[in-house]
Structure 1
């Protein structure tokens, strides 16, 4: 009997946690649809009325996700990162760049997913350290123009792989890469430089870029990096 009762308690707990995650993702999706257009965020509008953002923050505090369900885990932490970047900017609005706030990424701690973490903790400890997927860099949006564009949808467990692929292809076929065929040179976002180890796991950086590019770059081209634009990605 005890075994049955224990199993029922675990089942109920699992269902409650799943419902919490589903609700967080649903509310995140609605929030992004309302406040994000073409990768730009309506920070001033959110600042004027933070009720929807505040509700998301409360939801995110108690949600628990396990690495044993990697898509749910990754979807939660990717969305949480993007939402808490918005919170950090709104908390100090108006600012011209996330770098205007000292410790924005590595000092300010938030209660998320039953943990006390910084934005850098989410990126480097909870995602990159646990999953060797360089595509994370194209969906974690740091609040700057140089970042990949923030989509106006939530990342969902059921569609996460396709969403990661889509955003990586958009970046590497778009503004993240500049090719000069005459000079046999290619310049890329500094993200490729900062996280080089993530992009050379199965070859060179150009090999990685070519995995997602429609117009392939010759492997003998010289790669350099252009300066990151830290201006706020505001509407």
Structure 2
């Protein structure tokens, strides 16, 4: 009986510790984004000059364990971890004109997160896109470039995640992600929709259908769709 009680207390402490770590991670990430992101642009020079807070947050993220069984916590954690790790990568190579100027930025450099040594590509393609069929990820994972959807100045949180995914997708598809010529019935979209076409055409839908789900001004009739070049310049303030 005594042994069972001790085991139960240990489990309770572990759960409480896990909960506190996750809460601390989200709180610190939220404060970090608020302090260093404005209008989608990141204060890399400022962060480079004082890296303590970023290092502290990623140290917390290293010891957190998340399960896809709790999808909101899992997705929110990995979205924030991705965006923070991109900032870490830019800062580690600062000054830099583009993430692509640094060999292996997305597919070779690894980060210690949630008990894993993992690349940015692994987070995006294996842990998020590979586990959940949700094209909205493309509007919240920010690759450190101007061509990406804008980085928000707050953390993605489990309790608000779906609303945040919806909001960012609407902002992108009603903003600079599309260039619409209504007279000629033409629409140019970011190359993201070309690179990940399968994500935007799931269940037999077309890219225009996906766009119209989130557009305030619908693309009525037959539009010719093409893609404009991605801007890989770093998204610095």
TM-score (norm. length: structure 2): 0.97
Alignment of 1:187-206 (within 5 A): 187-202=188-203, 203-206=205-208
The size of the alignment, in residue pairs, is 235
Distance in structure 1 (CA, Å) of the matches to 2:120 and 2:132: 17
1:213 aligns with 215
The aligned counterpart of 1:225 is: 227
Is the contact between residue 207 and residue 219 of structure 1 (CA under 8 Å) also seen in structure 2? no
Cα separation, 1, equivalents of 2:128 and 2:166: 17
1:46-195 equivalence runs, <5 A: 46-195=47-196
**Are residues 1:234 and 2:233 paired?**
no
| Structure 2 gaps, min length 5 | none
Provide the residue aligned with 1:13 in structure 2.
14
Structure 1 distance, partners of 2:7, 2:213, is 48
Whole-Å separation in 1 of the counterparts to 2:150 and 2:138: 11
Higher mean displacement: 3-12 or 197-206: 3-12
Query: Aligned equivalents of 2:12 and 2:221: distance in 1?
Result: 53
**Aligned partners of 1:116 and 1:28: how far apart in 2?**
20
RMSD: 1.1
**Residue deviations 1:178-228 (CA, integer Å, cap 9, x gap):** 111111111100000111111111310000010000000125111100000
Kept in 2, the 8 Å contact 1:188–1:226? The answer is yes
- Provide Cα deviations, 1:20-66, integer angstroms capped at 9, x if missing partner: 01101100011111110000000001111111111112111111001
CA apart distance, 1:11: 2.7
Q: Secondary structure at the match of 1:89?
A: helix
Distance 1:5 1:127 in 2: 37
TM-score of the aligned structures, taking structure 1 as reference length:
0.97
**Can you list the C-alpha shifts for 1:159-191, whole angstroms capped at 9, x where unaligned?**
000000000000000000111111111110000
